[in-house]
Amino acid sequence: MDKKKISVAVIKRLPRYYRYLGDLLDNGIVRISSGELSKRMNVTASQIRQDLNKFGCFGQQGYGYNVETLYEEIGKILGLDKQYQIIIIGAGNLGQALANYGNFKKRGFNFVAMFDIDPTIIGHELHGIKVQDISSLDVYLSKNDIDIAVLSLPKQNAAKIADVLAKNGVKGIWNFSHIDLHMPADVTVENVHLTDSLMTLSYKISKNRHNYVVEDEED
């Protein structure tokens, strides 16, 4: 069967659809029209119909979309119908915050180990996850099938650790280190550069002070 084509822009909107549909489900809402979803999500109804039709989720005239079906279909596209084994590299505040975030587990993301260099926490459990010595990372990876590694360690060590991960078959890296990683083609990196995000905010709240105007402002 030929695969259907889809654009990056649509893919990027899917997690947001999924989040809104999950909220609707939690509130016991069974069906929703593109118009109503449009109001809640602050995008046009025609955009919604266009996006969702791409996935074969056709709304029915006078009925709208079945929330649960749509939620499950988008979940499948996002890969949320399987379980992921995740390790966290760097057991500081950020690593612990991610390990402790309950919603991830509900969606099939299982945090199974943390690694650190700090001898005062190695061997201890943090949020139910044992902290292991970073020097045992390659041995651990040779014995365990890990899908995703979170990099929440200082940038100085991030590239070296990322290489160890890639060599040992980890296919996804969720990168919180303030460095851009250059990885082999079969390794996917998703960056969360918090400093970049805060700077974008400071740009926006101070932009009236300087001599530039944004010509194609969004939202």
Which lies closer to a copy of itself via its Cβ, residue 64 or residue 92?
92
68 binds a copy of itself (CB under 8 A): no
| Per-residue contact string for residues 75-94; x = within reach of a copy of itself by CB under 8 A | -xxxxx-x-x-------xxx
Binding to a copy of itself in span 153-172, by CB under 8 A: 171-172
214 binds a copy of itself (CB under 8 A): yes
**Segment interacting with a copy of itself, rule: CB under 8 A, options 102-110, 128-136, 137-145, 161-169:** 102-110
58 binds a copy of itself (CB under 8 A): no
- Least distance CB 48 / a copy of itself (angstroms): 15
Q: Give the CA-trace dihedral at 113, 168, 15, 104, to 10 degrees.
A: -10
Which lies closer to a copy of itself via its Cβ, residue 19 or residue 135?
19
200 binds a copy of itself (CB under 8 A): yes
- Least distance CB 204 / a copy of itself (angstroms): 4
Which lies closer to a copy of itself via its Cβ, residue 14 or residue 45?
14
Parallel, antiparallel or unpaired: strands 188-191 and 172-175: parallel
Show the tokens assigned to 126: 């943090």
Give per-residue burial for 72-108: e unless 16+ CB within 10 Å, then b. Answer: bbbbebeebeeebbbbbbbbeebbbebbeeeeeeeee
Binding to a copy of itself in span 25-54, by CB under 8 A: 41-42
CA dist., res. 173 & res. 170, Å (int) = 8
CA dist., res. 94 & res. 90, Å (int) = 8
How is residue 211 annotated by DSSP?
S
